Amino acid sequence: MSQFSNDTAVVQVEDKLWRGELCRGWRIGEVPNGGYVLAVAGRVLSQALPHRDPLAANAFYLAPTGLGPIDCRVELLRHGRNTSHAQLRMYQQGELKVLVTAAYTELAALEGESWSAKPRPDYPGWQDCTP
């Protein structure tokens, strides 16, 4: 398992409650990086929802997080055939720090053409570009 996987690991402790820890390696000064914090939230949502793959997510950072334990509460807003919508609230020491709303799907079950599966265009290198 990679260091990032270890540092974003979470454990379910109740029906809608997950616990994890924000680690030292992913911070700016003393504050954990927002992308890292969202990755931890994403791990929770992947475990909590019937669909496992993120489709869209929006995070509101209501107060700075710190290093140490976190609690994440998940509320399933809607579960459809192809998509699950949820809200995650991340707490530290009982204070709400981050609110995430997200839609999750099963990417393997999607059909049709995907822009992400296309090869990237062959652009000239930076050294060959002129202003």
What is the architecture, at CATH level 2, of domain 3-128?
Answer: Beta Barrel (2.40)
Predicted TM-score (pTM) of the model is 0.83
Binning the chain into helix, strand and coil, the percentages to the nearest 5 are 20, 45, 35
The residues spanned by each domain of the chain are 3-128
Q: Which two tokens stand for residue 114?
A: 């995907």
Please report, rounded to a whole number, the percentage of residues in the chain having pLDDT higher than 70: 95
pLDDT at residue 95, as a whole number: 98
Q: Answer whether residue 1 shows pLDDT above 90.
A: no
